[in-house]
Amino acid sequence: MGEPARAPHDASPLSDPHLREHGLGGVVLSRGRFLEVRRDDVLLPDGNQATREYVVHPGAVAIVPMLDDGRLVLERQFRYPVGRVLLEFPAGKIDPGEDTLACARRELLEETGYHASQWARAGVVHNAAAYSTEGIEIWFARGLSLGTQRLDAGEFLELCLMDESELEQQAASGELTDVKTLIGLLWLQKWRAGLWPLDWVDAGSAAPEIINR
């Protein structure tokens, strides 16, 4: 047990004592160029011990970019681990110290070339809570204007503009399998139906500097 246990981001350590596990320390199983994997010993609610193995992830953002004509900006990208091209909303990992809106603006610009004048945070989702610390912050973007796409080296993707009904058809037919994109679609439809509100903020006043990062 060479390193102290990572403290999970634990808002209410006293709640749910019949369910809660407590970290007792752990080790790094592997530290690759992109992925770090840990194993921690944990104290179970009944006093026994177990181990938990998980990927340490910096967190990510996903963006639901809405053009003024109602179409959505999506990407088609080959995902090697699943061996297929997925249709996805733009997304990316949060840099160290970066706030989530700054990350959302950066990823939208880099991957699609679009700036947005207004942003709204929908919420956070956990996509692999059994074995990854990742949370995906979902942001909506509107008031889009086209700048210049700046893909990372080794990043290949194809932009797709489609309206909500086309995306819905992709989901209904089973073609749309990416979780953040399905959840973005859900949130979009709830928002358009007046059920789930979004609080929009002006991009200029929120984080102007990161456009030029």
Site for a second copy in 31-90 (CB under 8 A): 32-35, 37, 39-40, 42, 44-46, 48, 50-55, 76-86
Closest CA to 74 of 6, 7, 164: 164
Q: Is 137 in the site for a second copy (CB under 8 A)?
A: no
Q: Is 199 in the site for a second copy (CB under 8 A)?
A: no
Q: Is residue 201 involved in binding a second copy (CB under 8 A)? A: no
- Answer yes or no whether residue 158 interacts with a second copy by CB under 8 A: yes
Question: Is 1 near a second copy (CB under 8 A)?
Answer: no
Q: How far apart are CA 163 and CA 144, in angstroms?
A: 15
Nearer to a second copy, 85 or 145 (CB): 85
* Residue closer to a second copy, measured from CB, 118 or 177: 177
For residue 85, the tally of other CB atoms under 10 A from its CB is 13
Q: Provide the mask over 97-136, with x wherever binding to a second copy is found by CB under 8 A and - wherever it is not.
A: --------------------------xxxxxxxxxxxxx-
**Which CB atom, from 33 or from 212, has the smaller least distance to a second copy?**
33
Q: Are 121 and 43 in contact (CB under 8 A)?
A: no
Pairing of strands 135-146, 60-65: parallel
Helix (H, G, I), strand (E, B) or coil at 80: helix
Region near a second copy per CB under 8 A, out of 95-103, 104-112, 141-149, 169-177:
169-177
Site for a second copy in 138-157 (CB under 8 A): 154, 156-157
Closest-CA residue to 145 (of 211, 197, 206, 76): 211
Backbone angles phi, psi at 73, to 5 degrees: -100, 115
Kindly state the tokens that stand for 57: 């992830």
Q: State which residue, 137 or 144, has the beta carbon closest to a second copy.
A: 137
What is the distance between the alpha carbons of residues 82 and 62, in angstroms, rounded to a whole number? 19
Residue 30 as a binder of a second copy (CB under 8 A): the answer is yes
Give the residue carrying structure tokens 């390193």: 3
> Least CB distance from residue 71 to a second copy, whole Å?
21
